[in-house]
Chain A
Amino acid sequence: MNIADSTELICFLILSAVIVSGSLAVVLLENIVYSAFILGGVFMAVAGLYLLLNASFVAAAQILVYVGAVNVLILFAIMLVNKKENLKPIEGLKTRKFISGGVCGGLLILLLRVSITTKWKLPGPTSIGEEATERIGEHLFTDYLLPFELASILLLMAMIGAIVLARRDVTIPKDSINDFKNKKSLINNNIPLLSENSLK
């Protein structure tokens, strides 16, 4: 075994260990902020696996999308809504855990069966390396055009939904803000105190 192969093997083992232990930590840790940060680490390790497979474009896209966007948004949500809340104990927690454990175990057995019974071609297809970017672009604009467009419509729908949810068109006439009765009713109804001026 030469140096390149052994380096690859060591990298693969380290990355797999990071992914498995990291994913367990994401699920099992009590502190949700830690879970979110470790999730970023797991995403990075997955990007490392893509790099080992010579798919550098996919690796960079993985970092950009999952670490740079998804994980940052998760962190944002956690940090902005940092509310300590005593949750009500859920009834029948044990049976619920048992059922979800059974489902996950079944899924694991299914995947294991697939990976063992499938006859993998060894060695796999040769990687096209740097050409991959062009090839992905070609596929996106020819035979995968419909899924691509559907995904963008889905994203557009999510975006419009977010705007509708975030937008609050509640305005109060300027001179009635200081009205005591008005103020009280505003607090009671939990309406944000926006004057007409503050929206400009």
Chain B
Amino acid sequence: MNSGIDLEMSFTQGVQHLGLSHELAHLLWIPLPMLLVLVSAVIGVLVTVWLERKISAAAQQRIGPEYAGALGILQPMADGLKLLVKEDIIPARADSVLFTVGPILVLVPVILSWLIVPFGQNLLISNVGIGIFLWIALSSIQPIGLLMSGYSSNNKYSLLGGLRAAAQSISYEIPLALAVLAIVMMSNSLSTVDIVEQQNTAGFLSWNIWRQPVGFIIFWICALAECERLPFDLPEAEEELVAGYQTEYAGMKFALFYLAGYINLVLSALLVSVLYLGGWGFPISIDWFSSLIGLSIDNPLVQIIAASLGIVMTILKAYLLVFLAILLRWTTPRVRIDQLLDLGWKFLLPISLVNLLVTASLKLAFPMTFGG
């Protein structure tokens, strides 16, 4: 396997040529990808918010935002600016410390999870060995933030919303983790890079979605539930709970929830594409394509084109899934809380267990196709 472009090595070598020690060069490198990912996550959110407004408008036969920039692309910026300058209100008898920490605890794990999203062979912050497991562990911190903000608002709707949110994300985390486990079993690794590489042997035919169709559906449903998107947006069901745990929040603290929700949506879409749709892989194998033109895969030009194609493919796949999520939000009715819990515990959990069992036996029976 070729190693592709390694930006970190080139950067540290370049800095070392300037006369700095290796450690210092590494220290200088560390903040760069973090900053890049933070910026790309926020831009991803802005794009998603714009898409949400435009697609919802189309679904309801409206025009949607139009005046802020061409086709209203600056509307999310205007929204953000509005939230930034709004007064920050803490309700009189609320617990101000917990009220402030809550939204931060919701946002930070989501941003940390971007650590493991690969855009290419070496285009991720850190190829940690526990990869996808880190994401599952980090996403389990979120309910604490939700409970915290629900409790500290000193409002019964907030408390109910917080409890619902925590219950929902606990119950959907189990089928989610089991669906991921089936993938891990097939690729023999928890690392996201290995999972993608194992899928890119024969173009789109080797993507995991063909081998794990049930897992794909389970993962998608659970991801939507974890993001609290519409068929499952029980924690903030307007008709019952005003706005759930967000009821008392205004200004930037509300914006943190908003941001966390959308970053989580983009992240889930990216992870679905990584786990099931071949990540940065092009539908046709690049190796085969380059040999067709007669260029070696190690050719710098081929490398650069392949890397940029990888980034484009990852983002394209993710945004196709985001589009699907937005369409689902504006066309499906909300489920009831008992239906939600029934779906999670009585349907998804047994199905995902069976899926795991079938994957294990298929792996034993056909080690060639199901990763021996």
Contacts and interface: CB of A to CB of B under 8 A. Distances in A.
Given A3-B23, A40-B144, A72-B143, A80 B133 contact: no
B150 to A, nearest CB: 8
A40 B109 CA distance: 14
A37 B148 contact: yes
B15 to A, nearest CB: 14
B163 interface: yes
A63 interface: yes
B138 interface: yes
Contacts of B130: 56-57, 60, 130, 133
A68 B163 contact: no
A26 interface: no
B233 to A, nearest CB: 20
A44 B159 CA distance: 24
B151 A33 contact: yes
Given A3-B27, A64-B137, A72 B166 contact: yes
A141 interface: no
A64 B128 contact: no
Interface residues of A, number: 25
Contacts of B52: none
Nearest to A130: B129
A72 B147 contact: yes
Interface string B144-171: 1001100100000001001100110010
B173 interface: yes
Contacts of A71: 144
A135 B129 CA distance: 13
A75 B129 contact: no
A67 B163 contact: no
Residue with the greatest number of chain A CB neighbours at <10 A, chosen from B128, B130, B134, B166? B130
A57 B170 CA distance: 21
Interface residues of B, number: 27
Interface string B224-261: 00000000000000000000000000000000000000
A6 to B, nearest CB: 11
B141 interface: yes
A37 B173 contact: no
A37 B137 contact: no
A37 B144 contact: yes
A198 to B, nearest CB: 11
* Chain A interface, DSSP helix/strand/loop, else mixed: helix
Residue with the greatest number of chain A CB neighbours at <10 A, chosen from B143, B147, B163, B170? B147
B133 A60 contact: yes
Nearest to B173: A68
Contacts of B23: 2-4
Contacts of B27: 3
Contacts of A61: 137
Interface in A1-40: 2-4, 33, 37, 40
Contacts of B335: none
Nearest to B184: A133
A60 B129 contact: no
Contacts of B173: 68
A76 interface: yes
Given A4-B23, A56-B128, A57-B130, A63 B140 contact: yes
A67 B136 CA distance: 12
Given A3-B27, A130-B129, A72 B163 contact: no
B151 A69 contact: no
A56 B24 CA distance: 25
Contacts of A37: 98, 144, 148
B190 interface: yes
A79 B151 contact: yes
B136 A64 contact: yes
A90 B202 CA distance: 72
Interface in A66-91: 67-69, 71-72, 75-76, 79-80
A79 B129 contact: no
Contacts of A130: 128-130
Interface in A116-175: 129-130, 133
Nearest to B23: A3
Interface of B: 23-24, 27, 98, 128-130, 133-134, 136-138, 140-141, 143-144, 147-148, 151, 159, 162-163, 166-167, 170, 173, 190
Top-8 shortest CB links A-B: A68-B140, A130-B129, A60-B137, A64-B137, A63-B137, A3-B23, A75-B147, A72-B143
23 contacts: A4-B23, A33-B98, A37-B98, A37-B144, A44-B141, A57-B130, A60-B130, A60-B134, A61-B137, A64-B133, A64-B140, A67-B144, A68-B140, A68-B141, A75-B147, A75-B151, A76-B147, A79-B151, A79-B162, A129-B129, A130-B128, A130-B129, A133-B190
Interface of A: 2-4, 33, 37, 40, 44, 56-57, 60-61, 63-64, 67-69, 71-72, 75-76, 79-80, 129-130, 133
Given A57-B133, A68-B137, A68-B141, 5 more contacts: A60-B137, A71-B144, A72-B147, A79-B147, A130-B128
